[in-house]
A and B are shown apart, each in its own frame.
Chain A
């Protein structure tokens, strides 16, 4: 029996056809060129530079000095190093628990709604339009232990006020809540798009079989969106592990280093301590970890395409 390969046969194109194709797509290449230059400058070059920096000591005046693994040894010896990685992992974990399910549930609810659909979608997406710094500072006010909105709400229910950002036990989760709220709209929108691509007849069949809302979600929606759920999971891990703006603006890494993250520590090294080598070393470590997740993501999306 012949083995069927998944690989498509290689198509040999005619040289003249190729030239015509290039000519036809010249405008497209022009546009692509701009994007490539931007990517090269603002993404790839800094990335390569960062890798180089992590093995150097530089003052940006004299030629940089190669120091081997010294920058890595320095950051390893930093007492905040362990806290930073633990907090980053905890933040990502909490963000998955809190922030992963909510947009999906919201998308399901929005998809099931018959009235005010467009309005509610707009409302859910609205926070995404807010500049992140504004969103974070808004929450700073919400978290105020005295006049803050959250403690006022607790007070209505005769519950004791919480120290939100000022306690080692609640600070990190408070940052997760901010992050979840700010990214809610994007996640919901992506899930909604995925939900709408599910053929309606599947639901009709399920309804004919007597399935209620919960069973329809469990037996139709979840299997049909399995792949997008997985992709979003990976994207969320990659995004949350780079958390910076929340600890930078809300807690300054405190209390007692409870919210120091790898990205925040990296910033401290580079800009507070003027040690770009140390910052680069931390950045490289984070990049390697994120590359693993990115590789899984690419694999999953490729499998999907195939």
Chain B
């Protein structure tokens, strides 16, 4: 009997121990009401994601200076910065939310915004967002990313759309004129063949086909040709079209007839960046932020690259991307108000925060890329463009073909269930790039059937 009671006691001890640890691991963020009752000057602390990491000292210094200045302007607000590289890791998003460690003001890519809104994982800030002075000037398509109906769930930080990134140095080496980038796909073919002809390891044109990035770039090429991923009502797939077929035919031609895409396929996000940085890749679909990434993280040099529009896309749509901030669904009204003040100060005011180009130049950071474009042709937009020109440190003419086309190109957002559709289209992209006898009609028909099932589930 005693043995049993000992065992029982030991068992209870264990269970109690587990319970204690479990409760101690609970979130400390579950009391939103505690700070929500104060007035405008109530003391409030907000956690904000995407502080630049220590490995990026110049940007971190700028951020920290901005935090200090902001807190001087608003002594009742304390900013607790959270750093990470990259700013968001989709793998940990749900876990942070579940564990209660999600920041009050969390960073997000455009691709995830609608998914987060639909999952009710962000706070509705419609009631408070009117306080942001430049709200009326924000591009409606960009602000639209963060809206669902007439409700607003976040604000943008950067915005760009897809173009064609090319290596000017390789263009020169291959006897091409870097100041006259390809305007048609036929010209891309010619340029790609010449660059691939430079010798082993050189790839004329690179394309993704794994980890959902293949489907993502399929959508970018499709939009540029005037095609669309889903029907108007979003209930059925619409990529099995002449434009969709043209995207795959074009790749098939370059891969197998021209041999200008290299033999290594199943490339994912960082693969093309690395090849660009190493000076081995001639061209790829991408926005100016690719150049930024290649410069910052993959040992490329700003001056070696140029960006133009996707060939034959003038006047048509371009897949838009970017990032911004959303609010923790558990954040109190005071935290939301404080967060909006910070966003206005750091992300949305010409000459301040991310648009403090004077400081960027003084720090030796690159200035002059035609991104982000949050305001279009409105007064703040013009002010930002003028400041960018005034303090430019990179050859802005390398990005002029892209920048000049912006007035005639429509930003087009990603389709619903984007990641699932991209996963489906990875199959078609990888087939065309790895199999010479790939049947494009069948691949698109299969993908369409699969996509319809996914969209049907969605609706």
Contacts and interface: CB of A to CB of B under 8 A. Distances in A.
Contacts of A147: 200-201
A9 B359 CA distance: 84
B426 A145 contact: no
Contact of B266 (A33, A60, A62, A165): A165
Given A40-B18, A147-B201, A19 B265 contact: no
A179 interface: no
B266 A252 contact: yes
Interface in B385-421: 417, 419-420
A37 B268 contact: no
A91 interface: no
B209 A60 contact: no
Contacts of B10: 22, 29
B293 interface: no
A255 B212 CA distance: 12
A12 to B, nearest CB: 10
Interface stretch (A106-114, A115-123, A213-221, A265-273): A265-273
A274 B431 contact: no
Given A22-B6, A41-B21, A147-B200, A274 B119 contact: yes
A197 interface: no
B97 interface: yes
Interface string A67-102: 000000010011110000000000000000000000
Contact of A270 (B94, B265, B457): B94
A27 interface: no
Contacts of B93: 274
Interface residues of B, number: 53
A117 B256 CA distance: 51
Contacts of B21: 37, 41
Interface residues of A, number: 45
Contacts of A256: 427, 430-431, 434-435
Interface centre among B14, B93, B120, B214 (most CB of A within 10 A): B14
Contacts of B120: 59, 61-62
A11 to B, nearest CB: 12
A19 B9 CA distance: 12
B265 A255 contact: yes
Given A61-B329, A145-B264, A274-B115, A255 B18 contact: no
A252 B2 contact: no
Interface string A35-62: 0110011000000000000000001111
A271 B431 contact: no
Given A61-B330, A255-B265, A37 B18 contact: yes
Interface in B330-375: 330
B2 A276 contact: no
Nearest to A167: B434
Contacts, number: 125
A276 B18 contact: no
A270 B329 CA distance: 20
Contacts of A250: 266
Contacts of A40: 18
A33 B121 CA distance: 37
A255 B200 contact: no
Contact of A271 (B90, B98, B330, B417): B90
Contacts of A165: 266
Interface centre among A29, A250, A254 (most CB of B within 10 A): A254
A145 B264 CA distance: 6
A254 B3 contact: no
Interface of B: 1-3, 6, 10, 13-14, 17-18, 21-22, 90-91, 93-94, 97-98, 115, 119-121, 200-201, 209-214, 262-266, 268, 329-330, 417, 419-420, 423-424, 426-427, 430-431, 433-435, 449-450, 453, 457
Given A256-B430, A274-B115, 19 more contacts: A13-B3, A18-B2, A19-B2, A37-B17, A59-B97, A60-B98, A62-B120, A77-B457, A79-B453, A144-B264, A166-B264, A166-B265, A251-B210, A252-B213, A253-B423, A254-B214, A271-B90, A271-B94, A272-B423
What are the nearest 10 A-B pairs in CB distance?
A252-B210, A252-B211, A254-B430, A255-B430, A60-B98, A145-B263, A255-B434, A18-B3, A59-B119, A60-B97
24 contacts: A18-B3, A37-B14, A37-B21, A59-B120, A61-B97, A74-B457, A79-B453, A145-B264, A146-B201, A146-B263, A146-B264, A163-B263, A166-B263, A168-B434, A168-B435, A254-B209, A254-B210, A255-B435, A256-B427, A272-B419, A273-B419, A274-B94, A274-B115, A276-B94
Interface of A: 13, 15, 18-19, 22, 29, 33, 36-37, 40-41, 59-62, 74, 77-80, 144-147, 161, 163, 165-168, 250-257, 268, 270-274, 276
